[in-house]
């Protein structure tokens, strides 16, 4: 059936088809929410036993697959292979609509939904829809407020382990991704890629209303709210509304007085990282704009 493409087993909830009945049964658990395999360490549950086994490697820190280029280790061989493409630049999966390429087929499939605007996963709280189930799960944390990953340095909490790892780099100062044009370094590869667009001038996301272009789709979405006037994020203290959640969070610090970013020279604190960086120029004597 793999060669013929015949998929006789179809999900009644979303009409997705499969070649094996066992695969269909595992898929149906996405709709029912049934996760029979639970981790004894953290009580996180999984649809498949194999997923639980891979998850358990997180707790003892066992990562047997190591990248020969940067020595980063992984729990799965498939994850290592995908990671190695960062170094080789190999992206075998290409979108037929816009020619954007990806290292994984799953990433291409998720990307294609941008063109079709198909978003099958909807939040039951606010009706916001997403192209991927994982994105919906991350979104739901906004409503629950649950942040299970906490920084040991400053006690700031995060909804995702990856966000915590990137945050920790603020304390360590580690920035492994460097621009070959200007030698500016970044904590995330995605940030480096966006930065490179400054040098190339490439802005792939364009507003249909005014033709203004952006380097990120998230910036385009926020920009579109200028035309619609939509501001979905509202402060519970003063009812002021904002187009971005990040802007709301920064605003809320006015009411709480929370200033998490502190100057290492004089201990003055700020609500924004960008503010403390500008302030530190006073001590270094660096003038950004001459």
- How much of the chain exceeds pLDDT 70, in percent? 96
Statement: 78-146 belongs to CATH 3.30.160.60: yes
| Mean pLDDT, residues 24-50 taken together | 82
Is residue 290 pLDDT above 50, yes or no? no
- Given a cut of 80, whether residue 285 has pLDDT beyond it is no
User: Which whole number is the average pLDDT over 187-214?
Assistant: 85
Q: Which residues of 65-104 are buried (b: 16+ CB within 10 A; e: fewer)?
A: eeeeeeeeebbeeeebebbbebeeeeeeeeeeeeeeebbe
3-state secondary structure of 148: coil
Strand partners, 93: 102
Spatial contact of 55 and 47, defined as CB atoms under 8 Å apart: no
Q: What would the pLDDT profile of 78-91 be if each residue is shown by its tens digit?
A: 888 888 888 887 88
Superfamily of domain 1-62: Classic Zinc Finger (3.30.160.60)
The answer for residues whose C-beta is within 8 angstroms of residue 277's C-beta and 6 or more apart is none
Q: Look at residue 1 and tell me whether its pLDDT is greater than 60.
A: no
Q: What is the mean pLDDT of residues 164-171?
A: 84
| Confidence class for position 238, pLDDT limits 50, 70, 90 | very high
What are the residue boundaries of the structural domains of the chain, listed by start?
A: 1-62, 78-146, 157-284
Span 15-35, mean pLDDT?
81
| Cα-Cα end-to-end distance for the chain | 67
**Are the CB atoms for 237 and 250 separated by under 8 Å?**
no
Q: Are 188 and 177 in contact (CB under 8 A)?
A: yes
CA distance 189 to 240: 34
Q: How many CB atoms are located within 10 Å of the residue 2 CB? A: 7
pLDDT band, residue 75 (cuts 50/70/90): confident
Count CB atoms within 10 A of the CB of residue 159.
19
Q: Contact 48/33 with Cβ under 8 angstroms?
A: no
Residue 53 has pLDDT above 70, yes or no: yes
CATH (one of 1.10.3720.10, 3.30.160.60, 3.40.47.10, 3.20.20.70) for 157-284 = 3.30.160.60
Evaluate whether 78-146 and 157-284 have a shared fold. Answer: yes
User: CB of 276 within 8 A of CB of 261?
Assistant: yes
- pLDDT for 185 beyond 60: yes
| Percent of the chain clearing pLDDT 90 (strictly above) | 1
pLDDT band at 182 (very low <50, low <70, confident <90, very high): very high
- ∠ Cα 101 138 18 (to 5°): 60
pTM: 0.36
Task: Please tell me the predicted confidence (pLDDT) of residue 210.
Answer: 92
pLDDT value, residue 289:
44
């Amino acid at each position: 059936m793999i060669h013929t493409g015949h998929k006789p087993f179809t999900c009644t909830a979303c009409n997705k088809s499969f070649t094996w009945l066992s695969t269909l049964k595992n898929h149906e658990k996405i709709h029912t929410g049934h996760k029979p395999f639970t981790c004894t360490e953290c009580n996180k549950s999984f649809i498949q036993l194999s997923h639980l086994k891979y998850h358990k490697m997180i707790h003892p820190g066992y990562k047997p697959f190591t990248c020969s280029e940067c020595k980063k280790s992984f729990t799965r061989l498939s994850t290592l292979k995908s990671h190695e493409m960062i170094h080789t630049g190999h992206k075998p999966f290409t979108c037929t609509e816009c020619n954007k390429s990806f290292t994984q087929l799953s990433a291409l499939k998720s990307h294609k939904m941008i063109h079709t605007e198909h978003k099958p996963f909807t939040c039951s709280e606010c009706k916001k829809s997403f192209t991927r189930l994982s994105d919906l799960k991350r979104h739901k944390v906004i409503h629950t407020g649950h942040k299970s990953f906490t920084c040991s340095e400053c006690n700031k909490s995060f909804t995702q382990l990856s966000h915590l790892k990137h945050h920790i780099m603020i304390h360590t100062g580690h920035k492994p991704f460097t621009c070959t044009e200007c030698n500016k370094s970044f904590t995330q590869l995605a940030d480096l890629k966006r930065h490179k667009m400054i040098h190339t001038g490439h802005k792939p996301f364009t507003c249909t209303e005014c033709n203004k272009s952006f380097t990120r789709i998230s910036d385009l979405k926020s920009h579109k709210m200028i035309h619609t006037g939509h501001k979905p994020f509202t402060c519970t203290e003063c009812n002021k509304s904002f187009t971005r959640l990040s802007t709301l969070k920064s605003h809320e610090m006015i009411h709480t007085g929370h200033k998490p970013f502190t100057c290492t020279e004089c201990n003055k604190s700020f609500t924004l990282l960008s503010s403390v960086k500008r302030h530190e120029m006073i001590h270094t004597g660096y003038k950004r704009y001459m």
